[in-house]
């Protein structure tokens, strides 16, 4: 059996996290290495390794995750000035945790294109 990812352990409440929001399908919690004044992660409870592993059957779930992102961004006060949503996928994008996650960052300006 493969070892649980750190995010699966957070879902299973085996390790603590500063949880922002939780429902049957997803969990949102603050990133331990924040890159912005507000930086939280939104993850599905379903174990999907990365964007590359999203299937057509996940359409409703992914839509739900983005609805949650928008709602939390508004609640946490970053929606008006704008925020960035990022999903690192694979080695070149520096994905370190192989459980699909969306970084939601706000409270400062972000450059484009990214470095």
* Cα-based angle 79, 83, 84 (whole degrees, multiple of 5): 145
| Sole binder of ligand DGP in the list 1, 24, 33, 111 (CB under 6 A) | 33
Judged by beta carbon, residue 60 or residue 86, the one nearer ligand DGP is 86
- Contact between 91 and ligand DGP by CB under 6 A: the answer reads no
The active-site residue, picked from 39, 99, 101, 103, is 101
Judged by beta carbon, residue 1 or residue 33, the one nearer ligand DGP is 33
Question: Over the range 6-31, which residues count as b (16 or more CB within 10 Å of their CB) and which as e?
Answer: bbbebbeeeeebeebbeeeebbbbeb
Total residues at the site for ligand DGP (CB under 6 A)? 12
Phi, psi of 41 (to 5 degrees): -115, 140
Active site residues: 101
């Amino acid at each position: 059996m493969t070892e649980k990812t750190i995010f699966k352990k957070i879902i299973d409440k085996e390790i603590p996290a500063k949880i922002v929001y939780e429902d049957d399908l997803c969990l949102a919690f603050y990133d331990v290495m924040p890159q912005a004044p507000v930086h939280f992660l939104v993850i599905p409870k379903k174990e999907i390794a990365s964007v590359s592993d999203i299937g057509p059957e996940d359409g409703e779930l992914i839509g739900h995750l983005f609805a949650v992102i928008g709602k939390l961004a508004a609640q946490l006060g970053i929606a008006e000035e704008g925020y960035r949503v990022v999903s690192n996928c694979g080695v070149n994008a520096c994905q370190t945790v192989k459980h699909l996650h969306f970084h939601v960052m706000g409270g400062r300006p972000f450059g484009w294109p990214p470095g």
